[in-house]
Amino acid sequence: MSLDATPVSSENEPRRRGAVDYASARPAPEVRREDRGLPVLGRLLEFAADPVKLMRKQYETYGEVAPLKGALGETGLMLLGPDACEQALRNSDKAFANEPAWSKIVGPFFNGGLMLIDFDQHHAHRRIMQEAFTRDRLEAYSARMHSAIEQGLSTWTGGEDFKTYWALKQLTLDIAADIFMGGAEDTSRAEMDKVNKAFIACVQAAAGIVRGDVPFTRWGRGYKGRKVLEDFLRHYLPARRATKTDDIFSVLCHIVTEDGERFTDDDVVNHMIFLMMAAHDTSTITTSTMLQYLGQHPEWQERCRAESLALGPYPTLAELEGMVSLDLVMKEALRLRAPVPVLVRKTVKDTVVQGIRIPADTDCVVGVQFSHVMEDYWTDPETFDPDRFAEPRREDKSHRYAWEPFGGGVHKCIGLYFAGAEVKTIMHQLLRSWTWTVPADYVAPLDHHSLPFPKDGQPISFTPRQA
Ligand code: HEM
């Protein structure tokens, strides 16, 4: 898989750009009167309606470091363009922290997850978790995925208006149940459904307005969901500790680094809950975006299908990686609709980005999706054109952070190769068994309250290939 355009950098790497003394840097611009937004919500609704439109407006009005009125009158900063994003994500002076920023968005439901811990603790946990994503392990996960996907796809009905997004969401949940939890050998379908529901309640809690453990609210359901997940994992933990299997739950229980570091029971529970969240919606969104564009560009669908038909039904990881056209399509889908369009950080000390002072305790939004559509780096950025990632064009090389759907720096997605294997395996099976079309003028009505998903479930005309 050639998805890894920007290698994970070390926190100790010297800052390459914008290494400006704090005192001599300029202050961030003030928010203009007309940009204050609504009284309580600030510009949240504008963001939810169209994040790229808001980011572009901010960039054109204020530049790469743009003040933003958020909820409850708080002012943060938007970091826009690949240079500003790079500085925050590479974080060479350790000024940007994840936990205080992400926990404000996703609530307490994913506490202790790798993305929500910082600095030395993060470094130690990432070293251990890296062992769960080695090449050997990925090959094992990848081999195991085929049957879960085949089984899930066997229930697909197709039809004129087949709601592909919802079908994919169920499929990726089933894959997660198998690859992460070890399948249903010792758990009933009803129990797995309860776990899936609890997990969805935790994810949906992020969009809750009442932010407390209040019954009948999203957060109330999130707290209940977290408890169900914790009880479930703790119940099966002793068995996973006792026997080695090749699901991620068992792997996390058994990993020991060369230095003898390992996860405690609490760590395993926290990481499992976060990993399931990190893996699920992101892969679903990527696959559904690919389905949409391949439905609108039959020449690309045929190109990808030809690659799939040249392989057997159960390709190895190396064979999946060799699917060049599918790889280009996946990259283009991630560019056009980054499943995580913005990342958040909070400064824990004063720092400087692109010559602008950012004091400690500032909330920052890193505008990943905006870098993906800037005309400075991409030709005709709104157009679906996967060949832009192929030699000799390689537009993604116009800047190290022009394409950053997996983030960058020490928190760069640890599951990007896993995601590549999962998405490509699903696409491979779909290409072999189905054809589909999407009207050229279809524009997915995206909901941006959490990660961007098509509110209409993305109805697609789906037909079995043999027919
Ligand atoms: C297309 C699919 C995916 C996309 C676009 C994606 C995107 C991202 C991004 C942008 C981050 C960085 C967050 C930040 O810096 O604040 C991240 C982190 C993370 N992702 Fe993914 N992800 C995907 C799939 C997965 C999968 C399949 C897994 C697990 C199997 C996973 C596990 C993680 C973890 C554990 C982190 C936290 C890493 C750290 O903080 O060190 N992701 N992901």
* pLDDT 10s digits, 397-453: 999 999 999 999 999 999 999 999 999 999 999 999 999 999 999 999 999 988 999
Parallel, antiparallel or unpaired: strands 453-454 and 446-447: antiparallel
For the ranges 57-71, 86-100, 175-189, 421-435, the lowest mean pLDDT is seen at: 175-189
Pocket test for ligand 1, best of 87, 252, 401, 413 (most atoms within 8 A of CB): 413
Return the bridge partners of 344, or none.
365
With bands split at pLDDT 50, 70 and 90, how would you rate the model's confidence at 40? low
Ligand 1 centroid, distance to 272 Cα (angstroms): 13
Ligand 1 centre distance from Cα of residue 280 (Å): 10
Ligand 1, atom 39: nearest CA belongs to which residue? 411
Residues with Cβ within 8 Å of 207's Cβ and at least 6 positions away in sequence, in order, are 218, 449, 450
- The amino acid that residue 270 corresponds to is N
Predicted local confidence at residue 296, as pLDDT: 98
Q: State the pTM of this model.
A: 0.94
| 275 close to ligand 1 (CB < 6 Angstrom) | yes
pLDDT of amino acid 20? 58
* pLDDT above 90 (res 174): no
Q: Confirm or reject: Cβ of 358 under 6 Å from ligand 1.
A: no
Instruction: Tell which atom from ligand 1 comes closest to the C-alpha of 125.
Output: 41
Q: Which atom of ligand 1 is nearest to the CA of 345?
A: 16
Query: Counting runs of H as helices and runs of E as strands, what totals does the chain give?
Result: 16, 12
Q: Is the CB of 282 under 6 A from ligand 1?
A: yes
How is residue 17 written in tokens?
């750009």
| Cα 69 to middle of ligand 1, angstroms | 27
Q: Could you tell me which residue, 373 or 206, shows the higher pLDDT? A: 373
How far is Cα of residue 121 from the mean position of the Cα atoms in its chain? 22
Query: Is residue 179 lining ligand 1, measured as CB closer than 6 Å?
Result: no
Q: Which of 8-12, 74-78, 157-161, 178-182 has the lowest mean pLDDT?
A: 8-12
- CB 286 near ligand 1, within 6 Å: yes
Q: Any residues with CB less than 8 A from the CB of 66 and at least 6 apart, and which?
A: 29, 58, 59, 77, 78, 80
Centre of ligand 1 to C-alpha 441, Å, is 31
Model confidence pLDDT, tens digit, residues 251-297: 999 999 888 999 999 999 999 999 999 999 999 999 999 999 999 99
Band (pLDDT 50/70/90 cuts) for residue 124 is: very high
β-strands 75-79, 65-69: how paired?
antiparallel
Measure 413 CA to ligand 1 centroid, in angstroms: 4
Count CB-CB contacts under 10 A for residue 262: 15
| pLDDT value at residue 12 | 39
Residue minimizing CA distance to atom 24 of ligand 1: 279
For residue 111, the SS3 value is coil
User: Is 168 a residue whose pLDDT tops 60?
Assistant: yes
Amino acid type, 152: G
- Read off the pLDDT of residues 3-36 as tens digits, 9 standing for 90 and up: 443 334 444 344 444 455 898 999 998 988 888 8
